[in-house]
Amino acid sequence: MGNWELSDQVNFRSKQLLQGGKNIVGLMAGLNGDPILGIDDKIEDLHYKNNNNSNEVQGLNLTLARPKSKAILRKGILPFLLPNQSDDISHLALDIGGSLIKLIYFSRHEDQSVEDKRKKTVKERLGISNGNRRSYPVLGGRLHFVKFETSKLNECLDFISSKQLHCGRFDSHHWNSETPANENAVIKATGGGAYKFADLFKERLGVSIEKEDEMDCLVAGANFLLKAIRHEAFTHMEGHKEFVQIDHNDLYPYLLVNIGSGVSIIKVDGDGKFQRVSGTNVGGGTYWGLGRLLTKCNSFDELLELSQRGDNGTIDMLVGDIYGGMDYSKIGLSASTIASSFGKAISDKKELEDYRPEDISLSLLRMISYNIGQISYLNALRFGLKRIFFGGFFIRGHAYTMDTISFAVQFWSQGEAQAMFLRHEGYLGALGAFMSYQKHGLDDLMVHHLVERFPMGAPYTGGRIHGPPLGDLNEKISWMEKFVQKGTEITAPVPMAPPGTTGLGGFEVPSSRGATLRSDASALNVGVLHLVPTLEVFPLLTNPKMYEPNTIDLSDHKELEYWFTILSEHLPDLVDKAVASEGGIDDAKRRGDAFARAFSAHLARLMEEPAAYGNLGSANLSLYKKLTFRCLCTYNLLNRLMEEPAAYGKLGLANLLELREECLREFQFHDAYRSIKQRENEASLAVLPDLLLELDHMDEETRLLTLIEGVLAANIFDWGSRACVDLYHKGTIIEIYRMSRNKMQRPWRANDFDIFKERMLGSEGKKPKPHKRALLFVDNSGADVVLGMLPLARELLRRGTEVVLVANSLPALNDVTAMELPDIVAEAAKHCDILRRAAEAGGLLVDAMTNTLDGLKGNSSSVPLMVVENGCGSPCIDLRQVSSELAAAAKNADLVILEGMG
Ligand SMILES: Nc1ncnc2c1ncn2[C@@H]1O[C@H](COP(=O)(O)OP(=O)(O)O)[C@@H](O)[C@H]1O
Ligand SMILES: CC(C)(COP(=O)(O)O)[C@@H](O)C(=O)NCCC(=O)O
Ligand SMILES: [Mn+2]
């Protein structure tokens, strides 16, 4: 037990920091960024030292439940981690516009990767220079996107304050949450409000606003998004959304049209190279302001919702109204084209009350969207630009708005120019402000460093803030419980009906199949962005640009139906397993319930509008076998989906499966299949010696074929697979395995065994050189890895090939993880000299085998067997985003064996 007293020189930046009181769970860092106390440190006692004549606290006494020698206390200003923060939140930037405040903040995960001795040895063997995080300019963590109405600035300030977002900081060189904030803390902000509200920020939060130019920020944000986020941009024509893959080398020049309160039109020629070429005062503020006056609506969303039931023909003067129902075809105008917005109101003897608010809203929306589209086109024409990207929250992911703008651009340019929209539409300025903290940090990030995730609340709120921020797990669960009713609301379909065009120059009114607008459609297009600077593109991909991890397109309704049914049906079973994995206690049941609600909400939301989740690619065939689950029906939802046109873009199963794993993790189910995996590993390890004996009695050629058949056979041991579960009732693992192996007779669908055999064994008496290094991607636990892949690894090792076993970083279904694998190998090595020597040479046995290894140390002539993590936490691997360890290991590999993992 140690007892320290901090120096009197310790300062506290904000009185709010003290509110943590005894509940403070950790002090993160000292002056030099050295950790002082971790969140795991138990505070036995704490009290503040006050200056007699002021309330200002000057120091504190701490008693910690750990030895003094472990900690160094330094003088410094200590950023606190309050109990309601689950993360160490490090930074924040704002865009305070005429209508909305956009806030982006970064939270850093505690680094959970355990650098044990084993992992270090493997890294050394692979020649990875201590994969040091500090060599990356940006720390891993998450970017969150939040918005508030500017008129409710106080809510925003409360949010910042409750999450203590203004405490972490960048220093001049590093993005470093461990650097203490100083008394002159600054927040980067852009937009007019950065000027208007600077004093208020100083007063309320004690921070200064560092102003960043709005246009600079818009451009920086747009460039970043277009380069770093996969499928950021999409087209939207006649109700059909399609993601566009932007070629980074062919991005400039383009026209950026930001539709906020007003509209800025910017020609972008490169990073930081741009010119604001035009603008218009008829923008989002105009629609919302004028719309409110004319319809008495209380919110923007209400106004937009009204438009969906509107018929603008009652107010707008159409060409047909002027031409007696006829087209004016000579100049290309159909009778239904709007000749004059609101034009009918001049001749009618009607007052405002005589018009339906629905019609007024639609008329206004069309007038403004069309006008902006037209001005944008004219500017594109002026500078010969073909691509126009639209941003700003006026768009709000609203199908009809986008269709109208697209139509205008298409119509006036006669198809020459194209309107594109951005998923993070409203956050361009805020992102730019965020990036301005450090010019060589965020903007160096590339697509493969970013992983997009949709947190549990997304289907309900679309990422909007309702009430105080959710802090701990318990709050999350309560929130799920509270919102369970809301869950039914989200199944209401979003009106996405394509407006039919009527020949030249006009639309019909949007058909109104749904009456309500989802709480916030646009925000759901924005997940939380995980920054993972250690991820890399797998270096052996021949053509990363062409690589597509998903193999089946779910826009095929049959596929879609199949997968949604499977996932919904499996949910109760998964919850049972998850709860059991945590000992079945009440707390686990409650979490299980909340997980089920959250994931069902995601499923329901996805079925409504798959494209809401951005690009979800397509599904994966190998998962058919993986997910043959029990029945429970969600046909009502499916039926609705079947009714909707395939206008929602693509939907991918791999991403959906990952979302499910993430959702489990969110409710702290870190490994639902833990005990199942253990049981199967043990059962398989028990029969491994028999199998190895059998193999060793075969001649080389038979053995090689048997090994490959064995890999195929063992891959059926796949949890969740109905067939697999049934099999378990029919015999022991080794019996099932042998039986399955016998069924794996050639010819196979892909049947290149002879080529492989020749490469391995040679022909006409010539012995080929063994492979230098083989990467073996392993799948599942139990028989799959132990009876399938390990014997194959052993065969390669026997031939003098280095073997790297590649496994998942995080648990997903019953997939073995890189953390679990060394123990399995160690156990297997007890029965096999080849594996033992190789595992020892590879540094895998450092602590697992110390007893059995006595006397066997130091056989340096063995080729090593190693384990690396793949960087993935999903049942399907995406080779565009793998761990840096795997990327390093791949560089010397001349054989890659992929088994399972999609
Ligand atoms: N919830 C909302 N409240 C107010 N306006 C909204 C909302 N959602 C979308 N909008 C539209 O977005 C516009 C603001 O867009 P934004 O890009 O944030 O501009 P600004 O920077 O001027 O605030 C509003 O004028 C309105 O047309
Ligand atoms: C003044 C502004 C840059 C402010 O940005 P906003 O808050 O609208 O996002 C913008 O409203 C604008 O470009 N207005 C159009 C002014 C014009 O060029 O006519
Ligand atoms: Mn703005």
Whether pLDDT at 865 is above 60: yes
Closest atom of ligand 1 to 285 CA is 25
Nearest to 388 by CA among 238, 249, 253: 253
Task: Out of 298, 393, 524, give the residue to mutate to test ligand 1, the one with the largest number of ligand atoms within 8 Å of its CB.
Answer: 393
pLDDT of residue 293: 97
Is the CB of 287 within 6 Å of ligand 1? yes
Note the ligand closest to the C-alpha atom of 101.
1
Note the ligand closest to the C-alpha atom of 427.
1
Task: Out of 95, 218, 256, 261, give the residue to mutate to test ligand 2, the one with the largest number of ligand atoms within 8 Å of its CB.
Answer: 261
Note the ligand closest to the C-alpha atom of 148.
1
Note the ligand closest to the C-alpha atom of 151.
1
Q: For 787-808, how does the pLDDT look when each residue is reduced to its tens digit (9 = 90+)?
A: 999 999 999 999 999 999 999 9
pLDDT of residue 514: 36
Nearest residue (by CA) to ligand 1, atom 27, is 284
**Stated pTM of the model:** 0.71
Nearest residue (by CA) to ligand 2, atom 9, is 260
Alpha carbon distance 502, 508 (integer Å): 6
Nearest residue (by CA) to ligand 1, atom 16, is 260
Q: For 538-558, how does the pLDDT look when each residue is reduced to its tens digit (9 = 90+)?
A: 999 998 888 888 766 666 667
Note the ligand closest to the C-alpha atom of 264.
2
Q: Any bridge partners for residue 265, and if so which?
A: 257, 278
Task: Out of 96, 190, 264, 282, give the residue to mutate to test ligand 2, the one with the largest number of ligand atoms within 8 Å of its CB.
Answer: 264
Closest atom of ligand 2 to 429 CA is 9
Is the CB of 149 within 6 Å of ligand 1? yes
What spatial distance separates the first Cα and last Cα of the chain, rounded to whole Å? 51
Is the CB of 260 within 6 Å of ligand 1? yes
Closest atom of ligand 1 to 101 CA is 23
Return all residues near 767 (Cβ < 8 A) that are at least 6 apart.
Answer: none
C-alpha dist (Å) from residue 408 to 413, 415, 800? 8, 10, 66
Angle between the 674-696 and 821-829 helix axes, to the nearest 10 degrees? 30
Q: Which pair of tokens denotes residue 97?
A: 């516009």
Q: What percentage of the chain carries pLDDT values higher than 90?
A: 38
Alpha carbon distance 440, 823 (integer Å): 41
Whether pLDDT at 636 is above 70: no
Is the CB of 393 within 6 Å of ligand 1? yes
> In terms of pLDDT, which residue wins out, 301 or 256?
256
Q: What share of the chain is helix, strand, coil (3-state, %, to 5)?
A: 40, 15, 40
CA of 191 to the centre of ligand 3 (A): 6
Q: Span 895-902, mean pLDDT?
A: 88
CA of 100 to the centre of ligand 3 (A): 8
CA of 266 to the centre of ligand 3 (A): 13
Alpha carbon distance 398, 287 (integer Å): 14
Cα-Cα-Cα-Cα dihedral sign, residues 148, 152, 153, 156: negative
Closest atom of ligand 2 to 392 CA is 9
Band the pLDDT of 134: cuts 50, 70, 90: very low
Ranking 214-223, 446-455, 687-696, 708-717 by mean pLDDT, the lowest is 446-455
Q: Are 457 and 539 within 8 A, CB to CB? A: no
Whether pLDDT at 27 is above 90: no
